[in-house]
Every structure is written in structure tokens, then in C-alpha cells.
Structure 1
Amino acid sequence: MELKKLMEHISIIPDYRQPWKVEHKLSDILLLTICAVISDAEGWEDIEGFGETHLDFLKQYGDFENGIPVHDTIARVVSCISPAKFHECFINLMRDCHSSDDKDVIAIDGKTPPGHSYDKSRRRGAIHVISAFSTMHSLVIGQIKTDKKSNEITAIPELINMLDIKRKIITTDAMGCRKILQRRYKNRDVIIYSR
């Protein structure tokens, strides 16, 4: 992933903080957070620690005029960004980095992450995520959250449309193939295999 491209895409995320209180640019905080999480940071303090040890590297792509923000600032700022805008940023970045002429195979599958089973106290069902995985780049290029496993059938076409996948081989399970195959076969822009 090119970090210069990442910085371009991050710029679409609005910063809702009061300008006179801003000590660290939103783009710097997001660059720091993304790089740290990719490098296995598991919490806000890990992200701050990553920034302190990799400040020279981070300065190649961001300003970091006031150094690395403390973990409380990182947590507060990240919690205030729009999830929809961040999702849009991520999808656009993946489209930009993932050229359409690749001989790539996209594996689409749904999973319920461990530890996210039914919550009786809140009467909430398990979180189910549909992911599109680029086998060539070993990277998840898009995800959609669904409430129930049965929504996988409707979520897969939505994920394919969102990622604008064309001229690719897509693999999915038999459940995922039922309706997509009929719809996409006419366009002949993807081949879908059932595992």
C-alpha cells in the first residue's frame, strides 16, 4: 500500500474538532493509527508507542508538527470520525490500489467473529461480516456487516457493487452463489465459483 495514496484518501474524512483546539492534524492521527494497527498495535497505548518509535518514518508522509499525540487524544479523535466516511475512504483506497487488470481471485465469505455471539442482556444477535479477500494482495478489500446469516445472500451483491468488481474470478460458498450467479452471468464481467 502506498502511504501517499493513503494520505490522499484520508483527506475526505471531515474533522469536526474546533480548529483553535487542534494540536494534531486528523490526517496525522489516522496515518499513525492505521500504520500502528497494521503493525499489530492492539490498543491506544500501543498506537502511541508505535508513533514514538516510528516518528521519523511517519514524518515522511505526515507533518507531526507537535510530535505524537497521547493515547487519550488518539482515542478521542478516532472515536469522533464518521464511520461512513472512513468506510468510503477505505473502499476508495482499495479501488485505487487494486487495479482492475489484475489476474486476481476474490474470495467472498461471511463469518461471525469469535466472542460476538448472541447478547441476551441487550437482545442483540451476533455480528456477521461479509468480507471480500484479494488472494493476489492477501488483503481484505471490503466488508459489509449484516445482522443475520440469512442476509449474506443480499449482502454479497451489495459488496460486489460497492467494490465495483469487474473482470474477476470470485469464489464464494453455495449459499452465496444462488442469486448472484443468475444476476451476474448475463453481464459476463465476473465468474463465480462455489466452494
Structure 2
Amino acid sequence: MSEIEIIKAFTGLQDPRRRAGQRHTLPLCIALFTLAIAAGNKGFLAIGDWILSYREQLIELFQPTKNRLPSYSTIRRTLLHINYEQYSVCLANFFDIKPVPGETVAIDGKVLKHSYQVENDNPNSDSHPAIMLVSAYLVERGLILEPCEVDSKSNEIKALPELIEKLALKGVVFAFDAINTQKKLAS
């Protein structure tokens, strides 16, 4: 396979799949997923249709082994076990998403819908509260930066300073909602 920038961007991702039976590399599967989503495809069947529609061009571009591209189900199975934090870091580095001085960064916390434990009758299922993330949004460009997961025994007020330190931005205007206007946060 030739060295293409989007393939190089995902070579650092940890591959959670078993070695046995692998036909396609993880960077190829993730690159095809990313390109299909960027082309406006929503859902794995649409991604599969996109891959079939552009099969010849994609084979010419990526030059996969045996001239075979992964199916939508292979891409789906790959995405089920991928570390989303590593993926978002690779994607942000690929697109070089960094706020510039003078931009507005809106920060807000959200609870992921249906992320709490649904199974009460299953003794093998671990009990857990809903997953909460604090995300940063570049207002002028409409881009989302890497989210920060909030500890299950905490809240977004305590996670906010960690995210700001992690971003380590200078000359950027931060916008918060009312819950984050605590006196302790101002210092």
C-alpha cells in the first residue's frame, strides 16, 4: 500500500482485532470510514454503497493487497472495538484542528443519551451511571475539539479546569453556560 497522508494519520491507532483472519489493515478501514462520512454518507449501508460506487478509484488510490477493499460489515466490526479517544486525536492531528488567537471556544457538558445501564435483571452487567462528556466547540469554524470524559463521581464543573489546562490555549475567548460561571472557576 502506498503512503497516503490519511493512512499515515491512522497508523498510530491500536488495533483491537485478533490477528487471525485479518484481510485489511486498520488504517485502511478507518480511512475509508472517515472519507465516506466526509462525503456525506450516513449509516454503514450507505458507506458500503459509497465504497462500491468508487471501488476502482479507491483501489487505484490506496492500492490494497489483492486489490480488495473492506466491506461495510468489516468496517462496522472494526469500529465496534476502536478506541474513540485515539481516533479523535488522530483525526484532529490529520486535520490540524487547533484554535487560533481571537477565536471563540464554547465549552459545554453533555450526558450521552442511553449510556446508562438498561439491564437491571442481568447479573453479569456492571452497574454504571450515564457517561458525561465536556466538549469544546470552535464557533467560527464549526469544529468540535477532542472531548473530555467526566469522572462518574464528579460533574462538569470539576472537569472544566482539566479541559482548559489540556487545551492550553492563549488568546482564545471561552464561552460557557450558566453552570460554569462559578466564582472558583474564574480564578
Smaller-chain TM-score range? 0.7 to 0.9
Separation in structure 1 between the aligned mates of residue 15 and residue 69 of structure 2, nearest angstrom: 18
The residue type paired with residue 177 of structure 1 is T
Matched, 1:128 2:132: yes
Distance 1:7 1:162, change over 3 A: farther
Percent same amino acid at aligned positions? 25
Match in the other structure for 1:152: 156
Give the CA deviation at 1:32: 1.2
Aligned to 1:181: 186
Which residue matches 2:71? 70
Give me the whole-angstrom Cα distance separating, in 2, the residues matched to 1:25 and 1:55.
17
1:29-44 matched pairs, under 5 angstroms: 29-44=29-44
What is the SS of the residue equivalent to 1:170? strand
Q: 1:119, 1:16 → 2: CA distance?
A: 26
| In structure 2, C-alpha distance between the alignment counterparts of 1:174 and 1:60, rounded to whole Å | 52
Structure 2 unmatched ranges of 5 or more? none
Q: Which residue of 2 aligns with 1:97?
A: 97
Q: Flag the 1:53–1:158 CA change in 2: closer, same or farther, 3 A.
A: farther
TM-score by length of 2: 0.72
Aligned length in residues: 177
Q: Which residue of 2 is the match for residue 111 of structure 1?
A: 110
Which consecutive unaligned segments of at least 5 residues does structure 1 have? 183-195
Equivalent pair of 1:106/1:170 in contact (CA under 8 Å): yes
What's the CA shift for 1:26? 1.6
How many angstroms does 1:90 deviate by?
A: 3.7
Mapped partners of 1:57, 1:155: distance in 2: 45
Per the alignment, in what secondary structure is the counterpart of residue 175 of structure 2? strand
Q: Which moved more, 1:78-87 or 1:112-121?
A: 112-121
State the distance in 2 between where 1:7 and 1:102 align: 30
SS in structure 1 at match of 2:62: coil
Determine the C-alpha separation between the residues in 1 that align with 2:185 and 2:58.
42
Determine if contact 1:131/1:142 at 8 Å carries over to the other structure.
yes
Greater RCO between the two (CA within 8 Å, min separation 6)?
2
Query: Which structure is higher in strand share?
Result: 1
Q: Please provide the CA RMSD for this pair.
A: 3.3
User: Is the partner of 1:107 in helix, strand or coil?
Assistant: strand
Q: TM-score if structure 1 supplies the norm length?
A: 0.70
